[in-house]
Amino acid sequence: MSPAITHVTLAANEASEHRTLIIILFALFVVATLGITVWAGRQTKDAADFYAGGRQFSAFQNGLAVSGDYMSAASFLGIAGAIALFGYDGFLYSIGFLVAWLVALLLVAEPLRNSGRYTMGDVLAYRMRQRPVRTAAGTSTIVVSIFYLLAQMAGAGVLVSLLLGITSDAGKILIVALVGILMIVYVSIGGMKGTTWVQMVKAVLLIGGTILITFLVLLKFNFNISDLLGSAAENSGKGDAFLEPGLQYGADGTTKLDFISLGIALVLGTAGLPHILIRFYTVPNAKAARKSVNWAIGIIGGFYLMTIALGFGAAALISQDEIIASNPSGNTAAPLLALHLGGVDSAWGAILLATISAVAFATILAVVAGLTLASSSSFAHDIYANVIRKERPPTRRRCGRPAGRPSPSASSPSRSAPSPATSTWPAWSRWPSRSPPPPTCRPSSTACSGSGSPPRARCGRSTAV
Task: Please give the Cα distance from 357 to 22 (Å, whole number).
Answer: 8
Helix axes 3-17, 347-377, angle to 10 degrees: 80
Task: Please give the Cα distance from 26 to 33 (Å, whole number).
Answer: 11
Residue 297 has pLDDT above 80, yes or no: yes
Q: pLDDT per residue over 127-160, tens digit each?
A: 788 888 888 988 998 998 888 888 788 777 777 7
- For residue 35, give the amino acid letter: G
Residue predicted with more confidence, 465 or 293: 293
Alpha carbon dihedral 251, 301, 363, 67, in 10-degree steps, equals -130
Q: pLDDT per residue over 397-433, tens digit each?
A: 333 333 334 444 343 444 333 333 333 333 333 333 3
Phi, psi of 396, rounded to the nearest 5 degrees:
-70, 160
Task: Please give the Cα distance from 411 to 433 (Å, whole number).
Answer: 18
Report the length, in residues, of the chain: 465
Relative to beta strand 441-442, strand 398-399 is antiparallel
Q: pLDDT per residue over 313-339, tens digit each?
A: 999 999 889 899 888 888 889 888 988
Q: What is the pTM of this model?
A: 0.76
Q: How far is CA 334 from each of CA 119, 214, 318, rounded to the nearest angstrom?
A: 35, 11, 10
Give me the domains of the chain, ranges plus CATH numbers: 3-392 (1.20.1740), 398-442 (no CATH)
Q: pLDDT per residue over 351-403, tens digit each?
A: 888 888 788 888 888 888 888 888 888 888 888 888 888 765 554 433 333 33
443: helix, strand or coil: coil
Which secondary structure element, helix H or strand E, spans residue 398, and what is its range? strand 398-399
Tell me how crowded residue 13 is: count the other CB atoms within 10 A of its CB: 13
First to last CA, the chain: 47
248: helix, strand or coil: coil
- Amino acid 451: pLDDT: 39
Task: Please give the Cα distance from 32 to 120 (Å, whole number).
Answer: 32
Residue predicted with more confidence, 228 or 168: 228
CA 236 to chain centre: 32
On the CB side of 308, how many CA atoms lie within 13 Å of its CA? 13
